[in-house]
Chains A and B, each alone.
Chain A
Amino acid sequence: GENVEQHPSTLSVQEGDSAVIKCTYSDSASNYFPWYKQELGKRPQLIIDIRSNVGEKKDQRIAVTLNKTAKHFSLHITETQPEDSAVYFCAASQASGSARQLTFGSGTQLTVLP
């Protein structure tokens, strides 16, 4: 089955700096890669996703890049703000007609220091 590794497990940045979280996956058949943000006591919230036919996707201060050959993908947050502090999870899935199974990374606790 799929295995997703996520690094780092904790990340502290100064407000206004950039943050980068990296994930690698094992199954070359995976073709859908979402990122979730989970604040303490809250549900995971989908913040951005990318499919394997795209190398990069941006949404305001958030971007995701995908390298299918190396089987890794990364989340980039620019101009970080204190409200970006949360746990971020990457995930991988074989997005076919019948599959909605996500395999998650272990999470990254991001702390943005004011």
Chain B
Amino acid sequence: KAGVTQTPRYLIKTRGQQVTLSCSPISGHRSVSWYQQTPGQGLQFLFEYFSETQRNKGNFPGRFSGRQFSNSRSEMNVSTLELGDSALYLCASSGGRGYEQYFGPGTRLTVT
């Protein structure tokens, strides 16, 4: 099976802009979770989607949002970008009864 894929791999945006990141899970996986990774805060949970519904949400401001499509692909959106949003954004997919999460390669977002 193909692994988790994310697009784009790199992004440079300016403060105040918005950005949309995409994640395609492993075929057959219906759960997609998003994480933010920074040197200072480490890996932090953003939200999780399952069957097009948000099941869990981490402690991030409302500028961070997401959605999931019927084919389980997921997008996350960050509006009104701030310098502190510069990070590696990782998505992970999980399937069936297993709780294992498999990560994609991430999208490196730089906000200038």
What residues make up the interface of A, taking CB atoms closer than 8 Å to B?
A: 1, 32, 34, 36, 42-46, 49, 89, 91, 93, 95, 98-107
State the 4 A-B residue pairs at the shortest beta-carbon distance, nearest first: A104-B43, A95-B99, A43-B103, A101-B56
B45 sits at the interface (CB 8 A):
yes
What residues make up the interface of B, taking CB atoms closer than 8 Å to A?
A: 4, 31, 33, 35, 42-45, 48, 50, 55-56, 58-59, 90, 92, 94, 99-106
Evaluate contact between B99 and A101: CB separation under 8 angstroms. Answer: no
Per the bound structure, the CA–CA distance linking A45 and B4 in Å amounts to: 12
Expressed in whole angstroms, the minimum distance between the Cβ of B34 and any Cβ of chain A is 11
Evaluate contact between B90 and A43: CB separation under 8 angstroms. Answer: yes
When the two chains form the complex, which single residue of A44, A100, A106 contacts B90, counting CB atoms closer than 8 Å? A44
Other A-B pairs beyond A43-B90, A107-B42, 10, CB < 8 Å: A32-B99, A43-B4, A43-B103, A44-B103, A46-B101, A89-B42, A100-B55, A101-B45, A102-B33, A102-B43
- A103 contact set on B, CB distance < 8 A: 45
Known: A43-B90, A43-B105, A44-B90. A102 touches B45 (CB 8 A): yes
